[in-house]
Amino acid sequence: MLVVPAQEKHMSDDKPQNKKPHSDRRKVVTSAAIGQFVEWYDFVVYAYTASLIATLFFPDENRAVSLLATFSVYAVSFLMRPLGGLLFGHIGDRLGRRSVLAVVILLMGGATGAIGLLPTFQSAGVLAPILLIVFRLIQGLSAGGEAMGSNALVAEYAPSDRRGSYVGFTYSFANLPAIFAALFILLLTNVLSPEDYQGWGWRIPFLLGGVFSLVGLYIRSRIAESPVFESTRAEQGVSRSPLREAVQEYRQSMVFAFAMSSLAGLGFYTLTGYFSTYLRESVGLSSNAALISNSIALTVAFFAMPLGGWVSDHIGRRRVMMWSAAASALVAVPAYLLAGTGSLGGAVAGQSVLALTLGVFFGPFGIAILELFPTHVRYSGSSIGYNGAYLIFGGTAPLFSTWLVAATGSLLAPAVYMAVLAACVFFAVMRMPETYRRPL
């Protein structure tokens, strides 16, 4: 196939946005939102059972060591995310988005259900944590193909002047699994006795994730392929080597994608993977209060994300992300101070302030990355930058934050870390091109 230069390929994408009927768009948005829920429920439920997993799979007299081991397994799954992004991004740019997303959700659900069936260290010894690591790696592989693929499908269906609203809305559903998981585990821990929950009750959320994935698979099998991708394929514009082409011709776009994703990864997995454990283990808040406050904060993020996406459709992606990153840098330390007071009100207020500023950043972040790349390398290029940053900053968020508290003795150490990174992202986004009027 004739290789078209990057500039010309951008021009080939410069055509009117698709004219699919509103009913098709609604079906795609609904399926993407539900798919996001199922996929990320499976991934975050591990974080909300981290304290118990530390006991069941990594018994140690030193509680800090057990927690670090548990969060290390949490982090190790992120090692597979770049590989998943490379694999599924390549296939998605070659063959289409829809079928790849079906495979992704099936992998995630199977691995999650399998974790719910694992023997513990007491009954299987060292085999138990080894199997836990294997299934977390499979989850990581799956997660590497989810966010950018799902967002790309929605963006390529959306009206050109409402892409931020569409993607911000569907991407916001990544917050709901954490809320559902937190409240579901709260219910289980209050209905079951401590012995029953530790004996078998903790398995229920994982097994339920496997069932959810079958529902998600059914929904994704009923949607049509992206019209933008279909148009590119009809014009024989599909690249034979999208990965190679993305690396060779769109490196700067991948650098910007990495920069934006670093704050998104740290922020999202601090809220969903670390804060609940931080409030229990470091601040001394009760388990119920930690889960309730975290759920309220994630609800704030859920509503802030579509708002950020909607505003970015009117004033641009760059401006919204710049000022929300700056706001996140400014409120990080005060937010942790509030959360560290030891009261439910303080925990709600501190997390909610941080969830608001980060949520506004998350809103345009998903579409801004996709708009940096043309259709024929969009899935591959965006996945490389996104998953690389999530490996370094997202997967290590609970582990590194726990270590920072242990090493410094300061409950504010994770806040300083977030503030510094948010400030760096502010300056990176300043240099990024504006994309909200760029045709896909």
Instruction: Write out the two tokens for 344.
Output: 């439910």
Confidence of residue 61 (pLDDT cuts 50, 70, 90): low
Distance, CA of 391 to CA of 140 (rounded, Å):
10
Helices (H), 316-343: 317-339
Distance, CA of 41 to CA of 56 (rounded, Å):
21
> Span 112-119, mean pLDDT?
92
Burial class for 439, CB neighbours closer than 10 Å (0-12, 13-18, 19+): middle
- Is 291 or 71 the better-scoring residue by pLDDT? 291
Of 133, 104, 140, 117, the closest CA to residue 213 belongs to: 104
- pLDDT (tens digit, 9 = 90+) per residue, 305-347? 999 999 999 999 999 999 999 999 999 999 999 998 989 999 9
Quote helix, strand, coil % in the chain, to nearest 5: 80, 0, 20
Q: Residue 3 has what pLDDT?
A: 38
Question: CB 62: neighbour CB atoms within 10 A?
Answer: 8
Domain range summary for the chain, segments of one domain joined by +:
21-430
> Span 384-396, mean pLDDT?
88
Distance, CA of 386 to CA of 149 (rounded, Å):
11
Give me the chain's average pLDDT, please: 86
Angle between helices 317-339 and 413-430 (to 10 degrees): 170
Buried b (16+ CB within 10 A) or exposed e, 12-46: ebeeebbebeeeebebbbebbbbbbbbbbbbbbbb
Q: Is the pLDDT of residue 2 over 80?
A: no
Q: Is the pLDDT of residue 123 over 60?
A: yes
Out of 37-46, 150-159, 285-294, least confident range: 37-46
Residue type, 235: E
Q: Is the pLDDT of residue 18 over 70?
A: no
Q: By the 8 A CB rule, do 182 and 295 touch?
A: yes
- pLDDT (tens digit, 9 = 90+) per residue, 417-437? 999 999 999 999 999 999 998
Residue 17 backbone class (left: φ over 0; alpha: ψ -120 to 50; beta: rest): beta
Q: Is the pLDDT of residue 6 over 50?
A: no
Q: Is the pLDDT of residue 101 over 80?
A: yes
Q: Measured between alpha carbons, how far apart are the two ends of the chain, in Å?
A: 22
Confidence of residue 256 (pLDDT cuts 50, 70, 90): very high
Distance, CA of 416 to CA of 382 (rounded, Å):
28
Q: Which of the four CATH numbers 3.60.20.10, 1.10.490.10, 1.20.1250.20, 3.40.50.300 does domain 21-430 have?
A: 1.20.1250.20
